[in-house]
Amino acid sequence: MNGVERIVVVGASLAGLRAAETLRAQGYAGSLTVVGEEPHPPYDRPPLSKQVLLGRVHARDVGLPRRRAVEARWKLGVRADRVDPEERQVVLADGEHLPYDRLLIATGTRARPWPKPAQAALDGVLTLRTADDAARLTERLDAGPRRVLVIGAGFTGSEIASACRERGLEVTVAERGPVPLVGALGGALGAFAAAAQRAHGVDLRCGVTVTALRSENGRFTGADFSDGGRIDADVAVVALGAVRNTEWLEGSGLAAGPRGVACDAGCRAFTMYGIVTDDVFVAGDVARFPHPLFEYQMLSLEHWGNAVAQAEVAAHNMVSPAPRRRPHLTVPAFWSSQFGLNIKSVGVPTFSDQVVLAQGSLQEGRFVAVYGYRGRITAAVTVNRAKWLEHYQYLIETSAPFPPAPGAADRPAVPVTVPSDVPDPHLLSHGPTVALTGHLPDRHLTLVRHGRPGPPPPADEETPG
């Protein structure tokens, strides 16, 4: 098929799996190798901060179903060390060289660690990203800690806090921003989330940073805050967002850095000079791609649905001749479950200047918030009103005017439009699930690299050229 006989997929989670299946569904019959750093077969991450932490499902029982047999060679428990685009091969940590005609990069993200390594290594300081992380955290929660500290009130941190409260555990949440979820939903909805946390007994502290994790004999015992506050706790969960797994691509010449691997609408990777490749593709959390509904800004989406949709497009394009290639145009969508609330989103809430409560009410805890940017609808978020969301997806896809036209059920008497209060998009925030990564016009091209010593997040912003 087009001279494509060897395909290597690096990343064996949701995107890597669905890409491998799609390749076979497209009729690709050549060799297929799937490389995964974790020793486990592909598994589903969303349950880790929900069913698993609540003790309903064991962390080892979250495997994904397959759509079809893929007849792949699975190299699990092995890191990819580097890629040599000239020789067209991937070099693994165990020394094996995997030659490819097409390469898919689906290495995703990992939990951002606590910036002080000695404190991060304390007994009782954890992160939550992998099934092994979830198993460790669940074990700690089972032991009945007197208090849990959650650092960071993004979706993961908030879901962890929710699970703790449901288990009857005392929990303190420390958030640097003014309210929870501000990086994903903006300040207006963040205030609602803050009220929900407090109503469920969370000791929520916003506008503070954790200045030190205290310890005794190597065991975590409590934390100090920037406002002078102190707490004693037995467990600390660092939920400061994700780091994209791109270090292994340093030196590859690809446009890979802390914001992900840049690719075109067809999932083909760019080189660092902005030239598109024809044999290296990207999908899932590690990808950043231009989206026409959001002014072709480069988006990085840490979304389950995006991993699936982008993997399908990438795989199709990997084995299709140029005129048959498809663009990845799916409208971003995600969900979160916390404090009895089902939060669902379509579009990009952070791509907005205003938000209006279009249906329902905050008091009731059931509503639709619609986001607009310069007079058109760019996103909608429902809380316990999932059935209303699809309509707004259509409005987003058709660039309908903002605020939305009257006529919807359960509409407030006088809908009030307020600033959406989203963080400045050119700053990397610690906990967004969508990162708008468009360049500012007054900046020159700067090569940004991982792992250079520097201040803790979010200071890893591009250096002005």
* Of 25 and 64, CB closest to another protein: 64
* Of 144 and 340, CB closest to another protein: 340
Element (H, E) at 237: strand 235-238
Structure tokens at 328: 């990845």
Site string for another protein, 262-301 (x = CB under 8 A): ----------------------------------------
Structure tokens at 56: 């309903």
DSSP labels for 434-453? EEE-PPPTT-------TT--
CA atoms within 13 A on the CB side of 375: 0
Near another protein by CB under 8 A: residue from 65, 117, 274, 455: 65
Q: Which residues in the 72-131 window bind another protein by CB under 8 A?
A: 74, 76
DSSP labels for 14-32? HHHHHHHHHHHHTT--SEE
Of 318, 311, 266, which Cα lies nearest the Cα of 286?
A: 311
Near another protein by CB under 8 A: residue from 337, 352, 354, 433: 337
Q: Which residues in the 389-418 window bind another protein by CB under 8 A?
A: 389-390
Query: Could you say whether residue 200 binds another protein (CB under 8 A)?
Result: no
What does each C-alpha distance from 261 to 252, 292, 299, 321 come to in angstroms? 11, 18, 11, 23
| CA–CA distance, 260 with 69 (Å, rounded to integer) | 30
Near another protein by CB under 8 A: residue from 9, 62, 223, 299: 62
Q: Which residues in the 224-243 window bind another protein by CB under 8 A?
A: none
To which residue do tokens 């962890």 refer?
A: 160
Site string for another protein, 7-36 (x = CB under 8 A): -----x----x-------------------
Query: Could you say whether residue 324 binds another protein (CB under 8 A)?
Result: no
- Cβ contacts of residue 113 below 8 Å, gap of 6+? 120, 127, 238
Q: Which residues in the 353-382 window bind another protein by CB under 8 A?
A: 366
Near another protein by CB under 8 A: residue from 31, 226, 342, 417: 342
Query: Which spans of this chain sit near another protein (rule: CB under 8 A)?
Result: 12, 17, 40-44, 46-47, 50-51, 56-57, 61-67, 74, 76, 304-305, 308, 333-335, 337, 340-342, 344, 366, 384, 386-387, 389-390
